[in-house]
Amino acid sequence: MAKPSLVCDTSLLLYLGRVGQAMLLHSFFEPLYVPEPVLLELAAGRLLRPETINPQTLEWVVPVKVTTADLEALPANRLGLGERSVLAYAHIHPGSWVGLDDRLARLLAEQLGLKPIGIVGLLIKAKRADLIHSLPQLLNSLQSSGFRLSSGLFEEAIRLGDEPG
């Protein structure tokens, strides 16, 4: 069965890259579309932290352009340019999932009929597919690398990943 495509925002690439798990994206999605504003955000991150992932070095990543008209076609919102670019590209390319962690961006994605997935959802999926060994350990690593995760979501992820806490 063919993998669905994913239009990916900065947070998934940034934090999965920090914990050495960016390949999980490719395990479930192909291709991975990355809008130019997301590429620019990650490039800016490399100025401060040179180890920040460069998605353009990954053969399964496809950089994409989003026009001003595409962005303006979205409902009014206060999202950042990266999130808006992800939503705009996915909206005009039906069938693509959207990789977003921002709550408001995920809500807008659902309103647009898109399928959002965030880091935690991806890790639960990976645990269920036996692609990762320890979900709690990986969630702790993400938190140590700066990813914000409430204790409630941490526990819910463990439960959904069907792994004892």
The residue type found at 118 is G
Contact status, residue 83 vs residue 74, Cβ threshold 8 Å: no
Q: What pLDDT does 164 receive? A: 45
The number of CA neighbours under 13 Å toward the Cβ of 119 is: 28
Distance between CA atoms of residues 100 and 14, nearest Å: 12
Does residue 145 lie in a domain region?
no
Does residue 129 lie in a domain region?
no
The encoded tokens of residue 62 equal: 């496809």
Instruction: Quote the domain boundaries for residue 75.
Output: 6-120
- What does the pLDDT average to over 53-71? 96
Residue 2 binned pLDDT confidence (cut-offs 50, 70, 90): confident
- What does the pLDDT average to over 137-150? 95
Does residue 35 lie in a domain region?
yes
Expressed in percent and rounded to 5, the helix, strand and coil fractions of the chain are 55, 10, 35
Does residue 156 lie in a domain region?
no
Q: Is the pLDDT of residue 53 over 50?
A: yes
Does residue 62 lie in a domain region?
yes
Residue 165 binned pLDDT confidence (cut-offs 50, 70, 90): very low
- CATH number of the domain that residue 85 is part of: 3.40.50.1010
Does residue 160 lie in a domain region?
no
Q: What pLDDT does 162 receive? A: 73
Provide the domain count of the chain: 1
In the chain, % of residues over pLDDT 90: 93
Does residue 81 lie in a domain region?
yes
Does residue 141 lie in a domain region?
no
